[in-house]
Amino acid sequence: MKPALPALLVLIQLEPAHLELVSAQYDVRYAPTAEGRAAEVAAHGKTFRAVLTNGTVGLTATEIAAMPALEVVCALGAGYENIDLAACRARGIAVGNGAGTNDSCVADHAMALLLATVRRVPALDHATRDGVWRNALPLPPNFSGKRLGIVGLGTIGRRIAQRGQGFDLEIGYHNRRAREDVSFSYFADVGALAKWADYLVIATPGGPETRHLVDTPVLRALGPHGYLVNIARGSVVNTAALADALRAGELGGAGLDVYESEPLPPKELFDCPNVVLTPHVAGWSPEAVLASVSQFLENARRHFAGEPLFAPVG
């Protein structure tokens, strides 16, 4: 008789093929909605040995307390800011993530947003469809040969820097501390980086420490010919300050894949000039999602085999 499969609670949306892949190895309860989540924790909380979530959906201390058999929690993707790590540590619950699985996808999307914003691609597309020729339009500036400031030079930030170098961009960055393995210019202050840069790309983790790191002074330092891109977490940018800066002409434009109101769209930005918005898809592609699911399976396999996680958190 085969041993029972470990009970797994999945709190995020998965493609049918990926859910089938996971279900082949675990006894899955699928709860990607708030209502389903509450119902599953209440009805089956005592049985779950593993949870699959992500940084946005997270896992609360109350939910952890309702799962006395819980051994491992994994985030699909790199973010884990809404998983209660303290509650996990107190119980000895292993926590892993999908670090590295979607870095290239996120970096690609960051550059796509930056190019689309600087070269005003969406506005030019709309004008073309309306029959407006270039003579009646303001010309977008050159993209190459400028200064790219990156807030957060982790694995994703470094991939963005690599892509920027392909456009002959000079790279500067802000981090908690300077990195010894790069030759890029280091700025201890975000405002100083913004004043230096033509483009500012946000690639830092979310959470209380970085909330509204980019606010009115930083946006003014970036200036009317500067461009902001955020592919990190919506909480890092003060949305109201961004809207004010764009309407006042204090910022050249912004490309956002994340925002404070998500999953609701940032309606306060809808009437702002030169804003490009995407629905938090920077890290999502068929290749990246499959890699993240595969890394979850490897993390969980290692845990239940008594081995260290492939990508541990903390």
Name the active-site residue from 44, 91, 211, 280. Answer: 280
Name the active-site residue from 71, 170, 262, 268. Answer: 262
Within 10 A of 211 (CB to CB), how many other CB atoms are there? 15
Interatomic CA distance for residues 200 and 157, integer angstroms: 11
8 and 29 Cβ atoms separated by less than 8 Å? yes
Residue linked to tokens 């119980």: 91
Tokens linked to 170 = 């000079």
45 and 65 Cβ atoms separated by less than 8 Å? no
Name the active-site residue from 233, 250, 260, 303. Answer: 233
Contacts of 88 (CB under 8 A, 6+ apart): 64, 73, 94, 95
Burial of 122 (0-12, 13-18, 19+ CB in 10 A): middle
**CA proximity to 203, closest of 306, 109, 88:** 109
Q: Is 89 tagged catalytic?
A: no
Q: Is 280 tagged catalytic?
A: yes
Q: Is 177 tagged catalytic?
A: no
Within 10 A of 185 (CB to CB), how many other CB atoms are there? 15
Interatomic CA distance for residues 203 and 175, integer angstroms: 10
Interatomic CA distance for residues 258 and 252, integer angstroms: 19
Residue linked to tokens 């990156």: 150
Catalytic residue positions?
233, 262, 280
